Structure 1
Amino acid sequence: MAKVLPLTGGPALADAATTFLNRRDLDADTLRSYRQTLTCLRTELGDGALLTDLTAEQTTAVFTAAWGNAAARTWNRHRSALRSFTTWATARWSMTDLTALVERRRENSDGTKVIDRHLIEALWQRRDLPLRDKTLFRLLYESAARSVEVLGLDVGDLLLEAKRGRVRRKGGTTDWILWQSGTARLLPRLLAGRTRGPVFLTDRRPGPARTPAGADLCPVTGRARLSYERAEYLFKQATKTIDPTGAGYTLHQLRHSRLTHLGEDGWSSSTLMTLSGHRNLRTLGIYVQSSAEAVAAALAEHDPGRRRH
């Protein structure tokens, strides 16, 4: 797509985007999502494009090229980011609604996204998974924590003997996540004596043009904190062979599956809320419905025609 040249007055897109992203009211997860959207706009429309000269036709063209074939949820996430940016910008400058032609897409609910227990167990038994990946996946499952919370862990946040770590929950609340012996056996091997820096690191050191913030850089290895996007990709690749669709599972499905499995095992809602960091029973409810496999097993157990020994 050709770069758009600035025409008349108003702030440059790059300057406006930078100011928008530097606000203190954005949590890490939201900031990462917004940055992805705005980086794409800046790449396609040009950093020097004047914000007040941009049109809804231009942003629609960018969306179609970048995310036209993406899942509805991905499209809507980027649309939401652009709406937030536009709302913020129009309160300061006279400009067009850049989302006017970017229509929200219908998201179909997926009732099959719980990963079977035996598939989870098979994942833990794989010897070809790198130690970092296996530790991350197991910690995410056992703790039922959000991916951004686990990826944000620093070594100093861990209490290894107590099997817990300090995280910042959604909304900014400081809390503990808990894990079990599977994760407890892996973490010391992963850290290899490190006492500082992020827990989960990239495979290589970042290049000069991509040096992260100091808090996201390990002072021992020089490697950076593992990003959500990379972790999501690694999990999808690791689970392609066990996913019936062949597309691989998402990190969020580990959290969903863990809460569903524990709910099937009889855990109370209050205990699940403490584990997962939920603050509302209504939002927890979608995670703790019994899976199709559990219902099938219960039906088989109580089937009048079942042969009993």
Structure 2
Amino acid sequence: MRPGDGRADGTLATVRSAADAFLDSPACANSNTRRSYTTTLDKVAVELGGDRPLSSVADEELGQALEQLWGEASVATWNTRRGAVGGWLKWCAEHGVADAAELPAIPAWCKCLSPPGSDTPVRSRTAIDRLIGRREVHLREKTLWRMLYETAARSEEILGVNIEDLDLSGRTCPIKAKGAKPRTRTRGASREQYVMERVWWDAGTARLLPRLIAGRTSGPLFIGHRRPGPGKKVDARDLCPDTGRARLSYGQARALLDSHTSIGGETGTGWDLHELRHSALTHLGESGVSLLLFMAKSRHKKEQHARRYFKPSAAVMAEVTAVLGPA
């Protein structure tokens, strides 16, 4: 394909063919990414007309299509769908689907919206300490919940950690972060081929980890209580070589936290795993830590996502205001 040709035979790329080319590219190698883009671009193609040349779509027409499809959706959905269309058009320009000047652009009035305040509950440090300190809570759950809070990491990131990944003396380990990109462009990249990030924990987790590992030297850090059933295919990295048990799944971990925090024993009324990360970041924001350090800990890529956690306490605001007082 030559830049500006649109297609190998020289015909202009249609909305549908441009979308299909993007979905088949390495940019959509991840199955979840591809699914999200497919949902968005399929609807856009229907709204605009899939058989028309992409270069014939006007900016305003594209904006009206976005407004028609997701104008009444939530802020998060609007931003996600708008971002998907923008990413697709950027890819088309970079890969010569059409001359960049001929491609439509998202109009200025279809701007990315600021996310509203989160509805996720913030649990106090006392409540978290009290939960982890309960005698009936298993050591595995104590360690997981403490580690999630102290690292402020996402649940899937910590559940994916193996014992051999841990640096116990440094209180840190590498994790495959949300949205991690592989170093190779081939599909089906292994974990080792992804760019890894690091998380750190404190004394609470450091005291629990040696007891949880208890002589194990490799395999998943958090494992279930049973071995996988016969015929169930499990990746070698997800099996403990000492016990034969499989990695604790997100669903299992979520159900365990819910069962220990449910109201009146009713399923679905307890805490969610994300609340531990959300609470940790909120507590950091209230403590007055700088935005740069906060983003280093939270690993947010955009300031706008990190700023919503900055709700300084009255004591911190009084301390800041004191700087302006008379000498």
Indicate the TM-score class for this superposition, using the shorter chain for normalisation.
0.5 to 0.7
Alignment of 1:229 onto 2:251:
yes
Deviation at 1:193, TM superposition (A): 1.1
Deviations, residues 247-294 of structure 1 (Å, cap 9, x unaligned) = 11111111111011111112111111111221221111223335xxx5
Alignment of 1:133 onto 2:89:
no
Query: In structure 1, what is the Cα distance between the partners aligned to 2:228 and 2:218?
Result: 18
Q: 1:144 is matched with which residue: 145, 152, 157?
A: 152
The residue identity in structure 1 corresponding to 2:305 is T
Q: Say if 1:154 and 1:160 are closer, same or farther in 2 by CA, change over 3 A.
A: same
- Between Structure 1 and Structure 2, how many residues are aligned? 216
Alignment of 1:114 onto 2:70:
no
- The answer to whether the 8 A contact 2:287-2:316 is kept is no
Q: Say if 1:151 and 1:242 are closer, same or farther in 2 by CA, change over 3 A.
A: farther
Q: Say if 1:298 and 1:109 are closer, same or farther in 2 by CA, change over 3 A.
A: closer
The SS at the match of 2:231 is helix
The SS at the match of 1:230 is helix
Q: Say if 1:105 and 1:84 are closer, same or farther in 2 by CA, change over 3 A.
A: closer
- RMSD (Å) for aligned C-alpha atoms: 3.7
Deviation at 1:211, TM superposition (A): 3.0
Alignment of 1:26 onto 2:30:
yes
Question: Tell me, which stretches of 5 or more residues in structure 2 are unaligned?
Answer: 1-23, 51-68, 76-115, 181-194, 318-327
Q: Say if 1:188 and 1:213 are closer, same or farther in 2 by CA, change over 3 A.
A: same
The SS at the match of 1:287 is coil
For 1:183-194, list aligned pairs within 5 A: 183-194=205-216
Deviation at 1:26, TM superposition (A): 1.8
- The answer to whether the 8 A contact 1:242-1:248 is kept is no
Q: Say if 1:84 and 1:200 are closer, same or farther in 2 by CA, change over 3 A.
A: farther
Deviation at 1:106, TM superposition (A): 5.1
Q: 2:303 is matched with which residue: 281, 287, 307?
A: 281
Q: Say if 1:109 and 1:148 are closer, same or farther in 2 by CA, change over 3 A.
A: same
The SS at the match of 1:209 is coil
Q: Say if 1:24 and 1:191 are closer, same or farther in 2 by CA, change over 3 A.
A: farther
The SS at the match of 1:159 is coil
| Residue equivalent to 1:250 | 272
Larger radius of gyration: 2
TM-score of the pair, normalised by structure 2 = 0.57
The residue identity in structure 1 corresponding to 2:276 is L
The SS at the match of 1:249 is coil
Q: Say if 1:288 and 1:209 are closer, same or farther in 2 by CA, change over 3 A.
A: farther
- The answer to whether the 8 A contact 2:120-2:275 is kept is no
Query: In structure 1, what is the Cα distance between the partners aligned to 2:41 and 2:245?
Result: 32
Q: Say if 1:195 and 1:247 are closer, same or farther in 2 by CA, change over 3 A.
A: same
Q: Say if 1:141 and 1:81 are closer, same or farther in 2 by CA, change over 3 A.
A: farther
The SS at the match of 1:210 is coil
Query: In structure 2, what is the Cα distance between the partners aligned to 1:237 and 1:82?
Result: 36
Q: Say if 1:242 and 1:272 are closer, same or farther in 2 by CA, change over 3 A.
A: farther
Q: Say if 1:288 and 1:204 are closer, same or farther in 2 by CA, change over 3 A.
A: farther
Query: In structure 1, what is the Cα distance between the partners aligned to 2:227 and 2:179?
Result: 31
For 1:39-78, list aligned pairs within 5 A: none
Alignment of 1:174 onto 2:176:
no
Question: Tell me, which stretches of 5 or more residues in structure 1 are unaligned?
Answer: 1-19, 35-79, 95-100, 300-309
For 1:60-99, list aligned pairs within 5 A: 83=39
Q: Say if 1:257 and 1:242 are closer, same or farther in 2 by CA, change over 3 A.
A: farther
Query: In structure 1, what is the Cα distance between the partners aligned to 2:264 and 2:287?
Result: 23
| Residue equivalent to 1:15 | none
- The answer to whether the 8 A contact 1:197-1:219 is kept is yes
The residue identity in structure 2 corresponding to 1:284 is A
Query: In structure 1, what is the Cα distance between the partners aligned to 2:120 and 2:158?
Result: 25
Q: 2:223 is matched with which residue: 201, 212, 225?
A: 201
Query: In structure 2, what is the Cα distance between the partners aligned to 1:178 and 1:149?
Result: 13
Query: In structure 2, what is the Cα distance between the partners aligned to 1:158 and 1:24?
Result: 31
